[in-house]
Amino acid sequence: MNNIDFLLIDDDRNQELLFIEAINEINETTDLNITYKVVKTPESAMIELYQNYFKAIIIDLKLNNDDNAVESDEEISGNVLLRRIIEKEIIPIVVITGFPDKVSTDIDKSIVKVLPKETNLYDEINALIEKYSDSVFKIFGSRGEINKNIKELFWNVIPQCFTSKNQDISLLSKEKQETVIIRYISSWLSNKYMFDDKYIDVEPIEMYMFPNPIKQVCTCDIYKKYIDANIDEYFIVLTPSCDLANKKVDEVILCKIKNYDEVQSFKERLEIYNNEQNKESNKAKKAKGDLMKWFRNSHSDSLRYHFLPKVKDFTGGFVDFRSILSLEYDKESGEIIDNSYLKIGVITESFKRDIVSRFSSYYHRQGQPEFNCDSVLNNL
């Protein structure tokens, strides 16, 4: 039996009874065991959140009699409480109110659901249960995977690496110490989830960060340029990070990202695989094998290209090392001057090095004259 704890924050007795009725119906018709607390004031709500662990919250917007007299919607008791909850918790929240237009503009409606009073509570409670089961809330919640890892780091790892006796860290300023520890935590989490006795296969979305939280140009930033209503072009920054960090450049080097169908050999293999009905046929398996070489950048025709997988926010394609563009760079702001190029994201650290390395290697090829084969064989 799955135990789920709800918190209802509402001063309306009728709404409370509807809530209890819906909870009882779900408990009777499913294998769930939903328990709940009902509070009527913001103060009581914060006490409950401090003392207990809830998996979802339903809240009314107007919780005080004087809410109608406030000068700004932001001062409505429910809005004030919502902001305090969001500062404290990562938890599914539904606002059920007769005044949906008065919910704070600070509240992201794609995360906090806002519904009218006449909402069917049975359906919404079931929806909240499903939402809590989403991996995002399981990972980020106060008892989620990230929090468990942070506790492990704090109690078991940090004392060994960053004690006051460790000169590597103690000689740094307090601000620098914080930055170093945060970067260490990031690397520790990345390593922990990248390996499991062997390399773990990664998903395409792990190659990107949308958007890049850093405003300045970074190596492997992805830029979009609007061409017309039907066409956008994409580019990737390949100026070395050391040059960008030290602001040694006046121009930024970018390579064009070509569409999949612009690389003929890849296009042909993909068409063969997609057109083959039986994916277990020898023809389909051979085409898939060739495609996998393209994905790994190990195909004989992929020397000048680097594969980027398609995801929801990006069409993917091939970085073309031969298609190079230079754009003027503002050293003071650290941004590209031409504002027709829009930064949409960045390649994540695990993938950056290979792209930059392959780009450098492509232009460091030396080669040598070919031997006369017959002469070589005659001398053997």
pLDDT single digits (tens) 293-331 = 999 999 999 999 999 999 988 999 999 999 999 999 999
Q: Which of 28, 37, 38, 36 is nearest to 1 (CA)?
A: 28
The secondary structure of the chain in percent helix, strand, coil, rounded to multiples of 5, reads 45, 20, 35
Return mean pLDDT, the chain.
Answer: 88
As a whole number of angstroms, the distance between CA 79 and CA 107 comes to 9
How many other C-beta atoms are found inside a 10 Å radius of the C-beta of residue 20?
14
Residues 57 and 91 sit within 8 Å (Cβ to Cβ): yes
Residue 197 has pLDDT above 60, yes or no: no
pLDDT single digits (tens) 83-131 = 999 888 888 899 988 888 888 888 888 888 898 888 888 888 888 888 7
Q: Which of 190, 206, 244 is nearest to 347 (CA)?
A: 206
* Mean pLDDT of all residues in 282-286: 94
Q: Write the CB contacts of 373 (distance below 8 Å, at least 6 apart in sequence).
A: none
As a whole number of angstroms, the distance between CA 187 and CA 157 comes to 13
**pTM given for the model:** 0.73
Token pair, residue 311, equals 């995801």
Mean pLDDT lowest for which of 23-32, 131-140, 292-301, 335-344?
131-140
Q: Strands 221-228, 341-347: parallel, antiparallel or unpaired by DSSP?
A: antiparallel
Residue 133 has pLDDT above 80, yes or no: no
Alpha carbon 186 to chain centroid, angstroms: 14
pLDDT single digits (tens) 19-77 = 999 999 999 988 889 999 999 999 999 999 989 988 889 999 888 878 888 888 888 89
Q: Strands 208-209, 341-347: parallel, antiparallel or unpaired by DSSP?
A: antiparallel
Residue 190 has pLDDT above 90, yes or no: no
Strands of 40-92, DSSP E:
56-59
* Mean pLDDT of all residues in 211-215: 88
As a whole number of angstroms, the distance between CA 266 and CA 302 comes to 9
As a whole number of angstroms, the distance between CA 215 and CA 197 comes to 37
- List the domains of the chain with CATH numbers: 2-140 (3.40.50.2300), 145-200 (no CATH), 205-263+301-363 (2.30.30.110)
What CA–CA distances, in Å, run from 98 to 75, 273, 296, 328?
Answer: 17, 54, 55, 53
Residues 92 and 133 sit within 8 Å (Cβ to Cβ): no
The angle at the Cα of 215, spanning 168 to 327, to the nearest 5 degrees, equals 115
Instruction: Look at the alpha carbons of 318, 319, 320, 323 in this order and tell me if their dihedral is positive or negative.
Output: positive
Q: 1: pLDDT confidence band, cut at 50, 70 and 90? A: very low
Q: 163: pLDDT confidence band, cut at 50, 70 and 90? A: low
Q: Which of 111, 15, 125 is nearest to 62 (CA)?
A: 15
Residue 289 has pLDDT above 80, yes or no: yes
Residue 65: DSSP 8-state:
G
pLDDT single digits (tens) 222-259 = 999 988 878 899 999 999 988 888 888 899 999 999 99
